[in-house]
A and B are shown apart, each in its own frame.
Chain A
């Protein structure tokens, strides 16, 4: 696929280019994120991890992927 067909999204504050209509599941797989250790927000709404195959990403989507780190 040509680069110009790609769309821009933001993941954890960083811009990424993806193919149009990429599913959330494919994005997570591409990023090699272990699903059982993360939570995902799409445009400030929490995503049910069971439904990520059904979510198609759109231009300008803002995604946050979080996990647990050390804290007090």
Chain B
């Protein structure tokens, strides 16, 4: 079966794995992990330039935005105004319109503040941004984000950086049933099998940062995630057998001696 293209806001992407660029030991390691992962979208954050250390290395020197799609995020924003300010600045750096919105509501669990998230989605969409939205795994909110103009729904699997894996498969499946928008699991992946499960639930993609960057061997984990996403996708498309409580022999009894 030939897979349909992974398309976000009318743009095709090769890889269904999106990788974050935070928490690596060095830009070098980050660049290597991205290359190994095969990702063609990476998330990036907007922060102040260090004006006292002018020669400090920059992310853009290691990851070429002409070759890899930068997806600016709004990490650390707690209100719609903060998020909009951040993304306007991101757009000014180099014309990016495809963005990842994340408006947080709690510093400890990093859960999204969904009222502000919805408001930001509306405002940013009106300004011409293509907004991929980090959100709760709540089907009703996912619907409202879709109606507000989101270009991708990105529910969490578990809290950001927790590595707990998908906590609510039922909700993810319900969201999958109700939306034709790209559905991307964002946050909470811990290991390759979590990424496969996300894809087997019918998600269009997975966004991973900490699980790769903080693995003992990030480069190898990047490769594992690449295969896990491909494998999970293929498994989903192949149509799994129905689970059964009882056994069914793989070998026929016909001709038994």
Which residues of A come within 8 Å of B, CB atoms?
11-14, 31-34, 36-41, 44, 46, 49, 64-72
Contacts and interface: CB of A to CB of B under 8 A. Distances in A.
21 contacts: A13-B48, A33-B49, A39-B46, A44-B85, A46-B88, A49-B92, A64-B89, A66-B48, A66-B49, A66-B89, A66-B93, A67-B47, A67-B60, A68-B44, A68-B93, A69-B44, A69-B45, A70-B44, A71-B43, A72-B22, A72-B45
A50 B207 CA distance: 35
Contacts of A69: 21-22, 44-47, 59
A14 to B, nearest CB: 7
A41 B91 CA distance: 12
A64 B50 CA distance: 11
Task: Specify which of B54, B73, B89, B209 lies most central, judged by the most chain A CB atoms within 10 Å of its CB.
Answer: B89
B124 interface: no
B20 interface: yes
Contact of B48 (A12, A32, A36, A70): A12
B201 interface: no
A66 B75 CA distance: 14
A71 B49 contact: no
Interface of B: 20-24, 27, 30, 43-52, 54, 58-60, 70, 72-73, 75, 85, 88-90, 92-94, 160-161, 187, 207, 209-210
Contacts of A72: 20-23, 43, 45, 73, 75, 160-161, 187, 207, 209-210
4 closest Cβ contacts across the A-B interface? A71-B45, A72-B20, A72-B209, A39-B92
Contacts of B21: 69-72
Contact of B93 (A32, A67, A70, A71): A67
B23 A37 contact: no
A46 B94 contact: no
A70 B51 contact: no
Chain B interface secondary structure, helix, strand, loop or mixed?
mixed
B59 A39 contact: no
Contacts of B46: 39, 66-69
A63 to B, nearest CB: 10
A11 B49 CA distance: 10
B92 to A, nearest CB: 4
Contacts of A11: 51
Nearest to B91: A39
B22 A71 contact: yes
Given A12-B51, A13-B48, A69-B22, 14 more contacts: A11-B51, A38-B93, A39-B93, A40-B92, A49-B92, A65-B48, A65-B49, A66-B48, A67-B60, A70-B27, A70-B59, A71-B43, A71-B75, A72-B20
Contact of A32 (B20, B54, B59): B54
Contacts of B209: 71-72
Nearest to B161: A72
